[in-house]
């Protein structure tokens, strides 16, 4: 994967008793680099003041500061499924507000959400744009949460945001993951007493319906992105897709024709 850059802002109120700013990243990374900018966005060339410790912390011995400063933390995660829970674009509680899953499967959610983000959004947005959105979510509120915009016919329309799209793509994968169980002897269908098992065809239909809802919502997002990039400068310079690009064919998770 390409390096990702996180932008973290901080003030004097965020410093500890030793006038240090401490950033906890708490996940395995490679190729770490850190830069510090003052309130005027002038880089402070004080690399010797940084300390990256093995417990997953960056410590900046900055002393008292003036105004809002910025820390740019660049890193690389070799395995996209290791995206930490705190960095998920759609954490479990947000998923429950859009397309709820059974609370009994909450332990599986982080894995499902990581895999969907790294596969689906990488394809929909392009890897550079996806990684920047994931690393700097506060900069992309309108894209993630939805907003109103004017289409090319001067109509005011509303897109629901990438989190809405992810909720339905996550749910589609969840349906397949909930249908099978990994055991010592291989994958088996889950069965419960007093429950009627639905067919593999029904599972695929439910997956397709939820993926279509997500992809239909993304069509408005794509229209929004293209419209915003007609401005000078472009609102989303990392977005380079055009309206005539087709979404790839749906992927059905966890279900094979031979499972019955």
pLDDT along the chain (260 residues), means of 10: 74 91 69 82 71 70 89 68 70 92 81 89 90 88 96 93 96 80 42 60 89 96 95 91 50 42
Angle at 64 between CA 75 and CA 23, to 5 degrees: 25
Element spanning 8, H or E: strand 4-10
- What pLDDT score was predicted for residue 71? 86
The 8 Å CB, 24+ separation contacts for 180-185 are: 180/254, 180/255, 180/259
- What pLDDT score was predicted for residue 243? 44
- What pLDDT score was predicted for residue 161? 97
In a 3-state reduction of DSSP, which class is residue 6?
strand
E-strand ranges in 25-68 read 30-37, 50-53, 57-60
Element spanning 75, H or E: strand 69-76
């Amino acid at each position: 994967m390409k390096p990702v850059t996180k932008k973290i802002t901080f003030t004097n109120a965020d410093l500890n008793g030793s006038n240090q700013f401490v950033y906890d990243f708490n996940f395995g990374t490679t190729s770490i680099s850190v830069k510090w900018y003052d309130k005027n966005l002038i880089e402070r060339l004080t690399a010797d003041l940084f300390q990256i410790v093995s417990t997953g912390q960056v410590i900046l011995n900055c002393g008292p500061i003036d105004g809002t400063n910025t820390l740019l933390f660049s890193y690389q995660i070799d395995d996209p499924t290791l995206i930490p829970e705190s960095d998920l674009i759609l954490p479990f509680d947000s998923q429950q507000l859009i397309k709820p899953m059974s609370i009994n499967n909450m332990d599986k959610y982080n894995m499902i959400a990581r895999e969907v983000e790294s596969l689906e959004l990488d394809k929909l947005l392009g890897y550079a744009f996806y990684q920047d959105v994931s690393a700097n979510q506060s900069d992309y509120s309108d894209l993630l949460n939805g907003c109103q915009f004017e289409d090319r016919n001067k109509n005011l329309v509303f897109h629901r945001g990438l989190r809405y799209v992810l909720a339905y793509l996550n749910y589609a994968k969840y349906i397949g993951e909930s249908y099978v169980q990994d055991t010592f002897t291989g994958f088996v269908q889950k069965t419960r007493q007093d429950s009627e098992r639905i067919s593999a065809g029904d599972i695929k239909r439910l997956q397709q319906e939820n993926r279509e809802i997500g992809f239909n919502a993304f069509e408005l997002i794509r229209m929004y992105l293209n419209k915003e990039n007609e401005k000078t400068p472009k609102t989303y310079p990392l977005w380079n897709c055009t309206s005539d690009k087709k979404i790839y064919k749906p992927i059905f998770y966890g279900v094979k024709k031979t499972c019955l």
